[in-house]
Structure 1
Amino acid sequence: MKKVFLSACTLLSLMKLQAQQKDSAFVPRKLHIDEINLVSSYYHQDGNNSAVTGGIGTEKLTDIANVLDIKLFRYDRKGRKNNFGLEMGIDHYTSASSDKIDLKANSSASSADTRFYPSVNWSRENETKGSTFGGGLSFSNEFDYQSIGVNVLYAQKTRNRNGEFTARLQAYLDKVKMIAPYELRSPSNEDVEDEGWKNRNSYSGSFSWTQVINRNLQVAVLADVVQQNGYLGLPFHRVYFTDGSVHQENLPDSRFKIPVGLRANYFLGDRFIFRAYYRYYSDNWGLSAHTADLEVPVKISPFLSISPFYRFYSQHAVKYFAPYGGHTGKDEYYTSNYDLSTFNSNFLGAGIRWAPVNGVFGWQHFHMIELRYGHYDRTNGLNSNIVSLHLQYK
Structure 2
Amino acid sequence: MAVTDRHCATAVLGWLLILASGVQGATLPEDKVDAFYHRYEGGGMTIDGPSVLVRKGVGNQVSFSGQYYVDSVSAASVDVLATASPYTEERTEYTVGANYLEGNSILSVSYTNSSENDYEANTLFLGITQEFFGNMTTLSIGYARGWDTVMAVGNDTFEEEADRQNYQLGLTQVLTPNSLVGLDFEVITDEGFLENPYRQNRYIDPSDPTNYLYQPERYPDTRTSISAALRGRYYFPWRASLRGSYRYFTDDWGIDAHTIDLGYVHSLGPNWTLEGGVRYYTQDQADFYSDLYDYGNSQTHLARDKEMSTFSGLTFSAGVEYQWDQVAIPGVDRLQLGLLVDYLDFEYDNFRDVTASGGYLPGEEPLYGFDSWVTRASILFEY
Instruction: Give the structure-2-normalised TM-score.
Output: 0.81
- In the TM superposition, what is the alpha-carbon distance from 1:33 to its structure 2 partner? 7.7
Report the residue type matching 1:86 in the other structure. G
- In the TM superposition, what is the alpha-carbon distance from 1:367 to its structure 2 partner? 1.4
Superposition pairs of residues 128-139 of structure 1, within 5 angstroms? 129-139=103-113
Structure 2 unmatched ranges of 5 or more: 1-28, 206-211, 349-368
> How far apart, in 1, do the equivalents of 2:269 and 2:332 lie?
19
Aligned to 2:73: 93
Q: Does 1:72 align with 2:20?
A: no
Aligned to 1:384: 372
State whether residues 85 and 121 of structure 1, in contact with CA within 8 Å, keep that contact through their aligned partners in structure 2.
yes
> How far apart, in 1, do the equivalents of 2:239 and 2:129 lie?
31
> How far apart, in 2, do the equivalents of 1:387 and 1:131 lie?
35
Report the residue type matching 1:92 in the other structure. S
Q: Which range moved further: 35-44 or 355-364?
A: 355-364
> How far apart, in 1, do the equivalents of 2:334 and 2:266 lie?
22
- In the TM superposition, what is the alpha-carbon distance from 1:320 to its structure 2 partner? 1.1
Q: Does 1:161 align with 2:135?
A: yes
- In the TM superposition, what is the alpha-carbon distance from 1:271 to its structure 2 partner? 2.8
> How far apart, in 2, do the equivalents of 1:370 and 1:163 lie?
31
> How far apart, in 1, do the equivalents of 2:196 and 2:337 lie?
38
> How far apart, in 1, do the equivalents of 2:373 and 2:251 lie?
29
State whether residues 325 and 334 of structure 2, in contact with CA within 8 Å, keep that contact through their aligned partners in structure 1.
no
| Candidates 191, 209, 213, aligned match of 1:229 | 191
Aligned to 1:292: 260
> How far apart, in 2, do the equivalents of 1:43 and 1:254 lie?
30
Superposition pairs of residues 205-220 of structure 1, within 5 angstroms? 205-220=167-182
State whether residues 257 and 281 of structure 1, in contact with CA within 8 Å, keep that contact through their aligned partners in structure 2.
yes
Structure 1 unmatched ranges of 5 or more: 1-31, 47-59, 180-191
- In the TM superposition, what is the alpha-carbon distance from 1:341 to its structure 2 partner? 0.7
The Cα offsets for residues 328-374 of structure 1, whole Å up to 9 and x where unpaired, read as 53311111111111111101020001113334999954511110111
Q: Does 1:240 align with 2:202?
A: yes
- The SS at the match of 1:339 is helix
> How far apart, in 2, do the equivalents of 1:261 and 1:85 lie?
28
Q: Does 1:35 align with 2:28?
A: no
- The SS at the match of 1:252 is coil
Q: Does 1:112 align with 2:110?
A: no
Identity of aligned residues (%): 19
State whether residues 354 and 360 of structure 1, in contact with CA within 8 Å, keep that contact through their aligned partners in structure 2.
no
The Cα offsets for residues 81-123 of structure 1, whole Å up to 9 and x where unpaired, read as 10111111111111114765974xxx67xx1111110010111
> How far apart, in 1, do the equivalents of 2:326 and 2:216 lie?
58
Report the residue type matching 1:382 in the other structure. F
State whether residues 332 and 381 of structure 2, in contact with CA within 8 Å, keep that contact through their aligned partners in structure 1.
no
> How far apart, in 2, do the equivalents of 1:299 and 1:33 lie?
21
> How far apart, in 1, do the equivalents of 2:265 and 2:65 lie?
27
Aligned to 1:172: 146
- In the TM superposition, what is the alpha-carbon distance from 1:383 to its structure 2 partner? 1.4
The Cα offsets for residues 251-286 of structure 1, whole Å up to 9 and x where unpaired, read as 100000000001111001133200111100000000
| Candidates 123, 126, 130, aligned match of 1:152 | 126
Q: Which of structures 1 and 2 has the bigger CA Rg?
A: 1
The Cα offsets for residues 173-229 of structure 1, whole Å up to 9 and x where unpaired, read as 0011135xxxxxxxxxxxx44532100111011110111111110111100011000
Report the residue type matching 1:131 in the other structure. S
> How far apart, in 2, do the equivalents of 1:283 and 1:360 lie?
53
**Closer/same/farther in 2, CA of residues 326 and 215 from structure 1, 3 Å limit:** farther
> How far apart, in 2, do the equivalents of 1:238 and 1:306 lie?
44
Aligned to 2:221: 253
**Closer/same/farther in 2, CA of residues 303 and 333 from structure 1, 3 Å limit:** same
State whether residues 121 and 149 of structure 2, in contact with CA within 8 Å, keep that contact through their aligned partners in structure 1.
yes
State whether residues 38 and 392 of structure 1, in contact with CA within 8 Å, keep that contact through their aligned partners in structure 2.
yes
| Candidates 24, 28, 47, aligned match of 1:63 | 47
**Closer/same/farther in 2, CA of residues 355 and 286 from structure 1, 3 Å limit:** same
- In the TM superposition, what is the alpha-carbon distance from 1:326 to its structure 2 partner? 5.4
> How far apart, in 2, do the equivalents of 1:235 and 1:134 lie?
35
- The SS at the match of 2:319 is strand
> How far apart, in 2, do the equivalents of 1:120 and 1:133 lie?
14
- In the TM superposition, what is the alpha-carbon distance from 1:391 to its structure 2 partner? 0.8
> How far apart, in 2, do the equivalents of 1:92 and 1:203 lie?
27
**Closer/same/farther in 2, CA of residues 122 and 101 from structure 1, 3 Å limit:** farther
State whether residues 295 and 308 of structure 1, in contact with CA within 8 Å, keep that contact through their aligned partners in structure 2.
yes
Report the residue type matching 1:117 in the other structure. E
> How far apart, in 1, do the equivalents of 2:100 and 2:88 lie?
40
- The SS at the match of 2:307 is helix
> How far apart, in 2, do the equivalents of 1:360 and 1:336 lie?
56
- The SS at the match of 1:198 is strand
Kindly report the root-mean-square deviation, in angstroms, between the aligned alpha carbons of the 2 structures: 2.2
- In the TM superposition, what is the alpha-carbon distance from 1:164 to its structure 2 partner? 1.1
State whether residues 119 and 138 of structure 1, in contact with CA within 8 Å, keep that contact through their aligned partners in structure 2.
yes
Question: Per residue, is there more strand in 1 or in 2?
Answer: 2
- The SS at the match of 2:204 is coil
Aligned to 2:25: none
